[in-house]
């Protein structure tokens, strides 16, 4: 017997996380929306609010995107530094 997997929209996931952040308990959300605890905790981890040291509020999804972008820019910067060394030697 195969298990049927539900596909939830990003909007629905964010709504569940917003309900959690407004004070609803995970157990209530599990009962009310017939979800698994693990799903809710994964969504909280991905879409939940995170307060940075500078006082900004963002979510983990956005932080991961920014980290990727930062790594790409660092790589480009290293390539440009190496190219500059090569061109200045000529």
For residue range 2-59, what is the model confidence (pLDDT) as tens digits?
Answer: 556 678 999 999 999 999 999 999 999 999 999 999 999 999 988 988 887 888 888 8
Give strand ranges (E) for the chain: 49-51, 57-59
In the chain, the number of structural domains is: 1
What pTM did the predictor assign? 0.64
Q: Is the residue at 5 inside a domain?
A: no
pLDDT, mean of residues 55-77: 90
Q: Is the residue at 30 inside a domain?
A: yes
Q: Is the residue at 40 inside a domain?
A: yes
Range of the domain at 75: 10-89
Full DSSP string of 40-88: HHHHHHHHSEEE-TTS-EEEHHHHHHHHHHHHHHHHHHHHHHHHHHHHH
Joined together, the tokens standing for residue 51 give: 């307060």
Q: Is the residue at 3 inside a domain?
A: no
Q: Is the residue at 2 inside a domain?
A: no
Which distant-in-sequence residues (6+ apart) come within 8 Å of 44 by Cβ?
17, 20
CA distance 35 to 24: 14
């Amino acid at each position: 017997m195969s298990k049927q997997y539900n596909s939830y929209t990003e909007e629905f996931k964010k709504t569940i996380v917003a309900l959690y952040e407004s004070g609803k308990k995970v157990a209530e959300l599990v009962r009310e929306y017939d979800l698994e605890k693990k799903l809710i905790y994964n969504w909280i981890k991905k879409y939940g609010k995170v307060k940075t040291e500078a006082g900004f509020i963002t979510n983990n999804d956005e932080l991961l995107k920014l980290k990727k972008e930062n790594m790409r820019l660092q790589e480009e910067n290293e390539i440009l530094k190496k190219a500059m060394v090569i061109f200045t030697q000529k």
